Structure 1
Amino acid sequence: MNRDWETLLVEERTDRVVVTLHRPEARNAINARMIDELHDVCALLERDPRLLLLIGHGGVFAGGADIGELLHRGRDEALRGINSRLFERIHRLPMPTVAAVDGWALGGGAELAYACDIRIAGPDARFGNPEPALGILAAAGACWRLRELVGESLAKQVLLAGRVLDAQAALAAGLVIDVVPAPTLPTAAHELLDRMARSSAVALRLTKLVADAPGVHPLADDLAQAALFEGPDKQERMTRFLAKKESMT
């Protein structure tokens, strides 16, 4: 994609797109410009499905939404769902998404991480939703998505009691897949994507689609599997597996 990015660093690879949130002057706070640019990234990945890695610049994932902009938003902006529509679009991208979180992921930053399929953390990662302290609620997915991720009790501790989940608490709750030393976080995130990239791309897409489908099982499972059973990936991969197994006996 040829464009000038103001709030993101975007690296396109053959099998993935790496997006770094880059507003160092504001702890990578999510402002309207970043929202627009992330929509452009989504459009790119909808046209050309690839894995997505989101990471924050400078030891911070995202310190929240831009409070200076939120102060001037009213009822009409709330009803437009400026942040929530973007995060839902990210959640529904065709291929898996990974958030590599070190440092603060607060408010909208946490909700952006929750919208990804998988999160991996550095030791200083902190997840929190302090919106009620600012007179608002976490309206971009945390009120329901966090409950799905960690359960009702822990979600309410974060949303109502202002609990901040550190990296180890996030790991214990299943919110993150692993906690790794900060210097190795990008490498560990790419290794995770490498593992997924070795799978069949079409199988990953359909698995994600079925896993996210509400209340249509087992029909959705059967239809997706039927499509995969007739595809070349299954034939090639299973034939290769059986040949390798036979050569080892």
Structure 2
Amino acid sequence: MTTSMTSDTTTTALNGDFNALTLTETDTYLLVEITRPEVRNAIDETMVSELHEVCSYLELNPKILIITGCEANGKGIFVSGADIGQMRDRRRDDALRGINNMLFHRIAQLPAPVIAAVDGYALGGGMELALAADFRLATPGAKFGQPEAGLGIIAAAGGLWRLKALIGEAVAKEILLAGKILDGNEALAVHLVTEVHKPAELLDAALALAGRIAKLDPLAVRISKQVMAMPAGAHPQVDNIAQAILFESEAKFDRMQAFLDRKKNK
């Protein structure tokens, strides 16, 4: 994957050394590249810990998060799934801790939007990580699947319910109960992803999407994301309260005045 990052790219303000992730930060986004190519970016305890550190930072410093994979032997890899060597030894209490489930829930709840740019394998926990994002972009060669039932477990980190909510029960059952794997174009057809790009263009497309988001008012985007996640019973009251907050923001006055000025000068 190639990219033409903006000139405001800096090293990240996050402290500490990262082993499973490579981070690049700008004023508007944090790019997280998962870099464990020797094990096809399998999720292990180190990666989980480092992603929690990323979440801690973004919860205090809201920015758009872009998550992508890396290349191995000339082929893209997003996340091939959990590290089965570690998972094999986990027991009931580990499952109740919800190691991946809690991480992906935290990613989904981040204040600013999350973009997953997927090339190659996004299987098991890798697909569930992508499902936790607000936007998914892919290449034709992406591979989305939930093979957990073949290993004697379930997709317990969001796959069972996020997938059904996103693409409908019928296709979700094909994936979860019959082991169907979707490529990028098939994922686009069922609205699992919103864009498909060539591998060399994928990251640039994700950055372009982040740029479109960044042009909007950050507070309006943040509140919109939170209100959209509210249960049906919270509406319309929560919408009115959220709008009341935004009606008092300086950005609302400035942006509306700018709109009126542009209209006047046409």
TM-score (norm 2): 0.92
SS in 1 for 2:48: helix
Q: Which residue of 1 aligns with 2:225?
A: 208
Alignment match, 2:10: none
Q: CA deviation at 1:166?
A: 1.0
Residue from 183, 188, 194 that aligns with 1:171: 188
Shift in Å at residue 2 of structure 1?
A: 2.0
For residues 185-196 of structure 1, what are the structure 2 equivalents within 5 Å? 185-196=202-213
Distance in 2 of aligned mates of 1:190 and 1:108: 24
1:42 matched to 2:55: yes
Q: Secondary structure at the match of 1:10?
A: strand
CA offsets, 1:48-82, max 9 Å, x none?
Answer: 01100000011110000000000000000000000
- Which residue of the partner structure matches residue 85 of structure 1? 102
Q: For 1:5 and 1:69, how far apart are their aligned partners in 2?
A: 20
Which residue number in structure 2 is paired with residue 7 of structure 1?
20
Q: Deviations over 1:80-120 (max 9, x none)?
A: 00000000000000010000001110000000000001101
> Aligned partners of 1:7 and 1:171: how far apart in 2?
29
Unaligned 5+ runs, structure 1:
none
Listed one character per residue, the Cα deviations across residues 177-231 of structure 1 (whole Å, up to 9, x for unaligned) are 1101110100000000000000000000000000111121111111111111111
Q: Distance in 2 between matches of 1:83 and 1:15?
A: 27
Q: Which amino acid aligns with 1:152?
A: E
Match of 1:64 among 73, 81, 85: 81
| RCO higher in structure (CA 8 A, sep ≥6) | 2
Aligned length: 248
After superposition, what is the alpha-carbon deviation per residue over 1:8-57, rounded to whole angstroms, capped at 9, x for unaligned? 00112111110011101000011011000000000000010110000001
Note the alpha carbon deviations across 1:119-154, whole angstroms, 9 max, x for none: 011111110000011111111000001001100111
Residue 141 of structure 2, aligned match among 121, 124, 143: 124
Q: Distance in 2 between matches of 1:126 and 1:218?
A: 39
What's the Cα RMSD here? 0.6
Residue 91 of structure 2 is aligned to residue 74 of structure 1? yes
Q: Work out the percentage of aligned pairs sharing the same amino acid.
A: 49
- Residue type of the partner of 2:249? G
Query: What is aligned with 1:94?
Result: 111
Residue in 2 that maps onto 1:22: 35
Question: Which residue of 223, 233, 240 maps to 1:222?
Answer: 240
Structure 2: segments with no counterpart, 5+ residues: 1-13
Measure, in 1, the Cα distance between the counterparts of 2:214 and 2:167: 27
